[in-house]
Structure 1
Amino acid sequence: MIMDVKQIQEILPHRYPFLLVDRVLEMEEGKRIVASKAVTMNEYFFQGHFPQEPVMPGVLIMEALAQTGAIAVLSMEQNRGKIAYFGGMNKVKFRNKVVPGDVLTLEMEIINLKSRAGVGKGTAYVDGKKVAEGELTFMIG
């Protein structure tokens, strides 16, 4: 493990209930990152999505990927102390459900990075099976 949740909180402004990354497993600053999120029944969104069949909302899987990419970009010296904002999502596909007890493996490859914006290609897995993917555009502010 490269970073635990306390170290992640030094980089990201997100806090409970919206911090969706627990640990960083691998990272090349500004290029590539692998992180994880343990999904538990205690997640706030399971109260309403859905009480009879808890499923993690797909948009929150994308948010977890965005936070993962933000860690890689905001870890760079020139971006420390800044915030990464969503600019858009393209080619997003959801392939499987994420339920309590799953551990999301979040992989982001930064495919285009300029001084104030960029694009990352993200893929989320559970037990080695792809559950979601997409290209995420972000701005650094």
Structure 2
Amino acid sequence: MRVHDAIIDITQVDLNHVIADIDAIRRCNPQRFEMEQLTAIVHVDLDRHVCVGYKDVTRDEFWTRGHMPGMPLMPGVIMLECAAQLCSYFTQKYDLLGADMVGFGGLDSVRFRDPVIPGDRLVLACRLLKVRRGRIIFSRFAGWVGQALVVEGELKGIPIPVDALRPSEDAPTSSAPR
């Protein structure tokens, strides 16, 4: 990412100043158990629509045994999930989309620059570029380990129709695959 394109100067963010811990994140994001991919939120700038958080990557992550045996590397798709959860947290915390839940709408210009391994702290920043309330959010994101940029890209978030996805009591149960 070119310097003038930077979302934020990550060296100026106090990573020890937690403004939302896992319990606060859970109030905004629905993911639980293995799919919780944020540890804390450490910076919010409402004027610039910027949010910074991190994921402490541990040896106990669900993917460490199989990706890759003897050399665990955080899968790129999990890095993207971390970024999506950061964008979702910011969007939901401040009710920017007007939705019960935010889901992936698309990814563009994604680049993986360096590996992330157990013991790393993946620091993520997102900036909402455009919000069409009730329809879509457009954002940029970046992730660092230390000072090294490890992932960056653009993400779209869309409202998820939670009520429409819940099975009704009258709906027949089916064991057939979708």
> Normalised by the shorter chain, which TM-score bucket?
over 0.9
Q: Does 1:28 align with 2:45?
A: yes
What pairs with 1:1-141 in structure 2 (closer than 5 Å)? 1-29=18-46, 31-77=49-95, 82-115=100-133, 116-141=135-160
Q: How many residues align?
A: 141
- What SS does structure 2 have at the residue aligned with 1:37? strand
Amino acid paired to 1:48: G
| CA–CA distance in structure 2, aligned partners of residues 79 and 113 of structure 1 | 7
> Aligned pair in 2 of structure 1 residues 104, 84: CA closer, same or farther (>3 Å)?
same
- What SS does structure 1 have at the residue aligned with 2:64? helix
> Aligned pair in 2 of structure 1 residues 128, 78: CA closer, same or farther (>3 Å)?
closer
- Runs of 5+ in structure 1 lacking a partner? none
> Aligned pair in 2 of structure 1 residues 4, 15: CA closer, same or farther (>3 Å)?
same
Deviation at 1:78, TM superposition (A): 5.8
- Runs of 5+ in structure 2 lacking a partner? 1-17, 161-178
Q: Could you tell me the TM-score, scaled by structure 1's length?
A: 0.95
* 1:14-73 alpha-carbon deviations (Å, 9 max, x no partner): 001001001000113481100010000100011110111100001110110010011110
Rg (Cα) greater in structure: 2
Q: Cα RMSD (Å) of the superposition?
A: 1.5
User: Which structure is richer in relative contact order (CA contacts within 8 A, separation 6 or more)?
Assistant: 1
* 1:67-95 alpha-carbon deviations (Å, 9 max, x no partner): 00111100124657711110110000000
> Aligned pair in 2 of structure 1 residues 111, 125: CA closer, same or farther (>3 Å)?
same
| CA–CA distance in structure 2, aligned partners of residues 7 and 47 of structure 1 | 29
| CA–CA distance in structure 2, aligned partners of residues 50 and 77 of structure 1 | 39
- What SS does structure 2 have at the residue aligned with 1:11? coil
Q: Percent identity?
A: 28
- 6-15 or 28-37: bigger deviation: 28-37
